[in-house]
Amino acid sequence: MQSYKKLEYSRNNDVILRYTKGHFITPHSHVNYFLDMCDTKARMKEARAAGESLAELFLASDVIDTILCLDGMEVVGSYLANKLTEGGVISMNSHKTMYITGPEVNPTGQIMFRDNNQHMINNKKVLILIDSVTTGGTLQSALESIRFYKGEPVGIAAVFSIATQIQGVPIRSLFSVHDLPDYASYSPDACPLCNDGVAVDAICNGFGYSTI
């Protein structure tokens, strides 16, 4: 992998988007950028900066009961919940505090919740937290799961997103295609990089990448 370039979020320089250009395979598409969010998820200073910056985008929300963290975003989710609570966003949970949870994915790729943690979703107003949004495949599964367990998705928070909404649910992000205007996502069977014989640099998912 080549060295990364960096973008800093305009309102908080501790929020950093590391990226490198190439040819990458994700679970749902081929993309021409790899966005490395490992330190955003795991380094305390960056996770706190990302969580608190995302919270500023949702401080006008009436109620958020649960934050559903996808792709290992639980640390960021904790800081997000703390900042929302400090900012006056309330929860209707009996203990007046937000749940922060991650999904379990069954062998068919569906997001599920066991009997003992369904109460975090059932009749709750759920904010989805994700690292990046490209095709929306992961989000579609999350939205279907929330609605199946009779929760109400009230928003989506992302570090990077190429979209502003999915299934009528608004997406608010710290970085967008305005920051990476040539970012592109292709279906695997119609990838111009593949058609041009450009070698694949790595296979990527929410945990990181594996070079080929």
Predicted pLDDT of residue 169 = 96
Percent of the chain with pLDDT over 70: 99
The CA-based diameter of the chain, rounded to the nearest angstrom, is 57
Beta-bridge partners for 211: 202
Q: pLDDT tens digit string along 22-64?
A: 999 998 899 999 999 999 999 999 999 999 999 999 999 999 9
Instruction: Check which CATH number belongs to the domain holding 66 and give it.
Output: 3.40.50.2020
Range of the domain at 100: 5-211
Average pLDDT value for residue range 181-186: 95
Q: Which two tokens stand for residue 167?
A: 């299934």
Number of domains comprising the chain: 1
Predicted pLDDT of residue 2 = 62
Please identify which residue in the block is written with the tokens 């960056």: 46
Per-residue b or e along 149-185, where b marks 16 or more CB atoms closer than 10 Å to that residue's CB: bebebbbbbbbbbbbeebeebebbbbbbeeebeebbb
CB 82 within 8 A of CB 51: yes
CB 47 within 8 A of CB 54: no
Tell me whether residue 63 is exposed, middle or buried, using C-beta atoms within 10 angstroms of its C-beta: 0 to 12, 13 to 18, 19 or more: middle
CA–CA dist 43, 209 (Å, integer): 18
Average pLDDT value for residue range 132-143: 93
CB 35 within 8 A of CB 203: no
Q: pLDDT tens digit string along 102-133?
A: 999 988 888 999 999 999 999 999 999 999 99
Predicted pLDDT of residue 205 = 87
Tell me the three state secondary structure of residue 146.
helix
CA–CA dist 57, 133 (Å, integer): 17
Average pLDDT value for residue range 192-205: 95
